[in-house]
Amino acid sequence: MTSFRLGSPLRAHVTVSAVPPGIPEEYFAGGRQGTVFNTTSRCLELPSPAVEADPKLARQFAEGEAFFDADFVVDPRAPFGGLGPVYVNNSCRNCHPNYGRSRRVERYNQQFGGGYTAYVHTPDGKLVDGYLFMLQTRATPPYKPLAKGVDIKWRKFVDEYGNTYPDGTPYNQGTPYEGTLIYPEADIIDPLLPLPDDYKVSIEGTIGLFGTGLLDAIPDQDIIAEYERQQVTPGPVKGRPGEWVTEEFDGKKHLGKFTWHNTRATLRNGPGANGIWNVPNITREDRPNLFASRQWIEKQAELGLDTSALTGRQPTEMTREDMEKLTVWFTGLAVPAARNLGDPMVQRGKKLFHEADCASCHKPSWVTGKSDVIPGYAKQKIWPYTDMLMHDMGKADCRSCHKPARVAGKSYTVPSREEIQPVTESLLRDRRERNHGIRTMNHGFRDTFRTPPLWARGLMKNVADHTDMWHDMRARNFEEAILWHHGEALGPREAFRNMPKEDRAALIEFLKSL
């Protein structure tokens, strides 16, 4: 077994039972039964100790992984058959490179690593008729997709401070993109169905799969308790839970907690379970119909194609047994242990993280309840750094930015926006034209986003060769991710901006260690 010290990187993959005693609990990001000590490029694809301890689960995990890695094909008689006839991608791993998160790309149809989903909607957020919540840009011949692609252009953005800190340091100092911020504009290429004049296109990147089984085990009532705590706590942070969703697998109501907007309640009806259906369009007993709109089918008929096989119940292309294996796989993915928490710079960054009130949304820890998939996940103290709630990350007119705020702690006082620049109609108009706030956040489709977990974010460069973050991957590193915080998170953003350069670096080192 490779030995390690508390202040040094934990690099060897060792079982939890082999970890020396006395390791602080915060190193166990996924709890004792959900953590692996590994920082290699494979660290996000490993089974958790709770899976490895159960021979049946270990076998199901290994067999379920094959569906994630597979390239689905059209022929339903072939292994991993049933692709299409209209679809988003032919493989799960293309959107989750090395089991991680998608990366920022120039080409929407980039097969590997892109992972964007696109939404065609009106300014009030309603999907345009015929365009589903995942734009399908691929189809098996002779059928035609809803569009040939999405045109993504990355625009430069200059904030009200000229992309400069109060100490005169430019954002991203010392990088190839020093002094810059960027955001995407998206448009549909060759749409198949009619579009209203005021349509918009929004893009969102895929989320990481590791650790989702542990998040799934957080009791709904505990998330509601956190919501209620925030409502009575002074300050702008007022998270919102997802809606209550009645799940088909048990007929009970569960709290929405997955996707960027908490639209899915459990992993049996969330990422993975839905992705295998609405991305390659693989049907099964509980998803017997094609993931296709009525308008798309009618358009195929209008083009002279035979649509008789597109309506009604479809053949089962994935068995219930195989779906259970896939469920065990994505539920059983472990979380890499935290690293270097004893380092003085990391400890300084942790102190600053709490002083800047980052923990108001990025709640450090939870205790899990029961898991019907991985029993060993019960009663684990986990450290995901998320409150599982949605927060307003900025308004179109930035009125939320023009409120006095004081950051928790004694170190940093955030000035009122009125002290920096008075609110005028010309200022608001200028910011709208520059796509500031909600229009920038997602072109108007949503104004609230679930707080993303921070665990293992510091390993993304090693795992998938990128450090892109934010819902549309506009943030190229931790620094930019912080700088894109507006709305409810304006206070922590301004606390970070007003820190000395050395403190900003320390806070980022802490984030990299989680």
Show Cβ contacts of residue 292 under 8 Å, excluding neighbours closer than 6 positions.
Answer: 85, 86, 132, 136, 281, 310
The mean per-residue pLDDT over the stretch 310-320 comes to 93
pTM (predicted TM-score): 0.86
The pLDDT > 90 percentage for the chain reads 67
Indicate if the pLDDT at residue 439 is higher than 50. Answer: no
Question: What pLDDT does residue 20 have?
Answer: 64
Region of poorest pLDDT, from 98-107, 206-215, 265-274, 421-430: 421-430
Show Cβ contacts of residue 229 under 8 Å, excluding neighbours closer than 6 positions.
Answer: none
Q: Is residue 90 part of a domain?
A: yes
Amino acid at 247: E
Q: Is residue 433 part of a domain?
A: no
HEC profile of 8-68: CCCCCCCCHHHCCCCCCHHHCCCCCCCEECCCCCCCCCCECHHHHCCHHHHHHHHHHHHHH
Question: What pLDDT does residue 9 have?
Answer: 35
Domain total of the chain: 1
**d(Cα 92, Cα 112) in Å, to the nearest integer?**
10
For residue 460, give its domain range. Answer: 25-404+443-513
Residue with structure tokens 């991203």? 172
Q: Is the dihedral of CA 114, 115, 121, 124 positive or negative?
A: negative
Indicate if the pLDDT at residue 88 is higher than 50. Answer: yes
Higher pLDDT, 461 or 406: 461
Q: Is residue 2 part of a domain?
A: no
Region of poorest pLDDT, from 59-73, 85-99, 195-209, 430-444: 430-444
Q: Is residue 46 part of a domain?
A: yes
Indicate if the pLDDT at residue 243 is higher than 60. Answer: yes
- Contact of 366 with 218, CB cutoff 8 Å: yes
Helix axes 55-69, 320-332, angle to 10 degrees: 100
- Residue 240 — φ and ψ, nearest 5°? -125, 135
Q: Give buried/exposed letters for 225-247 (b at 16+ CB in 10 A, else e).
A: ebbeebeeeeebbebbbbeebee
The mean per-residue pLDDT over the stretch 225-230 comes to 96
**d(Cα 238, Cα 139) in Å, to the nearest integer?**
43
**C-alpha 99 chain-centroid distance:** 13
Strand, helix or coil for residue 501: helix
Please tell me which of 110-119, 380-389, 442-451 the model is most confident about, judged by mean pLDDT.
380-389
Q: Is residue 246 part of a domain?
A: yes
Q: Is residue 414 part of a domain?
A: no
Q: Is residue 3 part of a domain?
A: no
Q: Is residue 436 part of a domain?
A: no
